[in-house]
A and B are shown apart, each in its own frame.
Chain A
Amino acid sequence: MTLDAVLFYVFAAVAVASALVVVGQRSPAYSAFALIVTLCSLSAVFGLLGSPFIAVLQVVVYAGAIMVLFLFVLMLLDVKREERPRGRGWALKATAIALGSVLVVQVGTVLAALGPVPGAFRASTRQVARLLFSAPYLYVFEASSILILAALVGAVVLAKSDS
């Protein structure tokens, strides 16, 4: 096994373990910190898959900006621990098993149709930026800036107190 593969499995295990903590933890603050661990180890996985740009973006935007927003809201709202988990009826379980098996079949189909994977691959930031700022994606990029502006104004309006 190469060093890349060893690192991949280590970070994948950390990601799955901390994701289980996110879901299993009753205190939202601990969930948030576990989610930060998941996001950072996923960033390492992105790097190992040959996309350093996305890896850095993951740490800066997700772990840096979005999770800080979450922690601010958690501090603001005085969140309590959950007393009990939600009810789990048999209908919910049956639906979960059905949807889960659909997901497994979908991924299995994709894996079967994957074909040979090309050898060494590393996407530099320059290459990603060239694609991002060229014809089809450029319009989406500009539209997303409008989306961000709308979200900014919307968040301020929604969170503002009436007084």
Chain B
Amino acid sequence: MTGGPDLVTPALLLSLGLFAIGAVGVFLRRNVITVFMCIELMLNAVNLAFVAFSRARATLDGQVLVFFVLTVAAAEAAVGLAIIIAAQRHKDTLDVDSFNLMKW
């Protein structure tokens, strides 16, 4: 596994595709947990782009950034799921359209 140089372009295209799929899911799904999973998918697409750039430049900074993205994603998942539990307790539903208290 030395990472062939010809894999950088397909990896970036894969990242583009996964990001687009995740974004479509965020707008299409009603269940707030599924929306949250689609956000995780988009984060992963970004991580893939970082790794591909790290490969393209043969530097390690991209991988360190992926490390921090993973850390923030873990914190975000914990807080986000706690918010979802609190919101479900409050509204008794998981439909994203029902969480409109702060809309104007």
Are both chains from one complex?
A: yes
**Chain A residues packing against B (C-beta within 8 Å):** 2, 4-5, 8-9, 12, 15-16, 19-20, 22-23, 25, 28, 31-32, 35, 38-39, 42, 45-54, 57-58, 61-62, 65-66, 69-70, 73-74, 76-77, 79, 82, 84-86, 88, 92, 96, 99-100, 103-104, 107, 110-111, 114, 117-123, 127-128, 131-132, 137, 140, 144, 147-148, 150-152, 154-159, 161
Once A42-B48, A128-B63, A151-B79 are accepted as A-B contacts, the answer to whether A82 and B30 lie under 8 Å apart by CB is yes
Given the contacts A31-B37, A70-B37, A70-B81, A110 and B12 also touching, CB distance less than 8 Å: yes
Q: Which of B4, B33, B36, B97 contacts A4 (CB 8 A)?
A: B4
A77 touching B94 in the complex, CB below 8 Å, given contacts A8-B10, A52-B1, A103-B19? yes
Is the pair B38, A22 in contact by a Cβ cutoff of 8 Å? yes
A83 to B60, CA, bound (A): 46
Q: Let me know if B81 and A38 touch, CB within 8 A.
A: no
Contact A23 B58 (CB under 8 A): no
Asked if residues A123 and B27 are in contact (CB atoms below 8 Å), the reply is: no
- Which of B10, B64, B75, B77 is within 8 Å of A70, CB to CB? B77
Partner of A122, one of B2, B27, B28, B61: B2
A45 engages B48 (CB within 8 Å): yes
Point out residues on B near A: beta carbons under 8 Å.
Answer: 1-25, 27-31, 33-34, 36-38, 40-41, 44, 47-48, 51-52, 54-58, 60-61, 63-64, 66-68, 70-79, 81-86, 88-89, 94, 96-97
Roughly how many angstroms separate A9 CA and B74 CA in the complex, as a whole number? Answer: 28
List 13 additional A-B contacts (Cβ < 8 Å) besides A38-B18, A49-B52, A103-B19: A5-B4, A12-B14, A19-B41, A20-B21, A45-B11, A48-B4, A49-B8, A49-B11, A54-B51, A66-B73, A103-B20, A107-B16, A132-B67
Contact A123 B56 (CB under 8 A): no
Chain B residue numbers with a CB within 8 Å of A12 are: 10-11, 14
Tell me the complex Cα distance, A42–B7, Å.
Answer: 14
Q: Tell me the smallest distance from the CB of B64 to a CB of chain A, in Å.
A: 5
A151, B78: Cβ atoms closer than 8 Å:
yes
CB distance from B33 to the nearest CB of A (A): 5
Contact B56 A114 (CB under 8 A): yes
Known: A70-B81, A128-B64. A23 touches B25 (CB 8 A): yes
A23 x B3 contact (CB < 8 A): no
Contact of A144 among B38, B71, B86 (CB under 8 A): B71
